[in-house]
Chains A and B, each alone.
Chain A
Amino acid sequence: MLNLKENLEAPLPRKTEIPSLSNDAYRKACREQIDQRVKEINQHYQKSASEAWKHYVR
C-alpha cells in the first residue's frame, strides 16, 4: 500500500529558483544536432519502431 503520510509531513528543503532545468550548452546542442537527430529518429519511427530501436538505442 502507498503510505505517504510520514514522508509528506516532513518540510520541503530550502530551494533556489532557477530559470530552466537545462543550460545554454544543451540548447546549443539542440540547435546544432539534437533537433536534427530527433527529426531523423521520428522519421524512422514513422516507418518502423523496431528499425528505429536498432539504429538509435545502444
Chain B
Amino acid sequence: MVILNRRFRNFIVLVLIIFLCLVAITATFRQSEIISTLKSKTIDFFKPIQEKVFSLFSPVIGFFNYIRDYINLRDRYLELKAENSSLREGYVESANLRVENDALRKLLDIKLRGGYETITARVIGFSNENWQSEVILNVGVSDGISQGMGVINEDGLVGVITRAGSSSCNVRLINDPQSSIGVRVLSSRKLGVLKGSQGGIISLDYIPVGETVLKGDIIITSEYGNLPGEILVGRVSKVSEDESSLYKIVEIEPFADFRRLEYVLVLKQ
C-alpha cells in the first residue's frame, strides 16, 4: 500500500511538473511579461556569485583555449599568411580609394559617420548548446542597456541584447538558431540576412543564385536593420548552390571568437 501510494505520489508530482512546464513554454511563446520579469530577476539574483565564479575559472578557461589554439596553430598560420598577402594587395588599392573618397566627400559636403557611444561589459555566463548560443553580461538597465542593442568586441559583431535586467543582460550570439541580422556583402553591397543554426553554423540567406558571392568576401551589418551599419561581422567561408532553391547557400565564418569572449562593448543607440 505504501509503495502504491509512493508511486501514485510520484506520478502526481510528474503530472504537475509537466503541467507547469507546458504553462511556462506557452508563456514563452506568447512572449509573456511575467517570463521576461522572471528572467531578469533570476539573472540579477545569480549575478554576484556568477561573476565571482567566472573570474575564478577564467584562468582554466584560458588554459583550455590555449590548447585549442595550439592544435589549430598550423592551419591558422597558413590561413593568416594567405590573408596577409591578399590584404597587402588590397592596402595599396584602398589607400588610393581613401584619397579619392576624401576628396569626393569634401566636394559633396558629406559628414563621416561618427563613432558609436559604447558601454564596456564583462561576460559572466555562457550557454552554448546545439540549440542556443547566449552570453550573460554584467551590465543592465541601470547602466543604460536596453533590448535590441548590438554587442561587439575588437574583432566584430558578437550579438544582440535580447533581455535586459536591472544589472545584467542576455546577449543572443549571431550563431544562435534564432538570430537573424540584416547584413551586406562588402564588395558587392548586396543585402542579405545572417542566420544562425543548430551546431553554430552561420549562413547568409536570400542571396539569389545569379549574384556573385565569393569565398573570402567580407560581411558587414546593413544600415537598414536595428544595428548601426558597417560593423564587421565575418567572412564568407563556403558558397554552394542547391538546384531546388532560388538562393545560394552561403556559410559565414564570424570574426569574433565566441569561446574567447571576456570583455565586450554594447553599442548605445
Interaction A to B: no
Q: Which residues of A contact B (CB under 8 A)?
A: none
Q: Which residues of B contact A (CB under 8 A)?
A: none
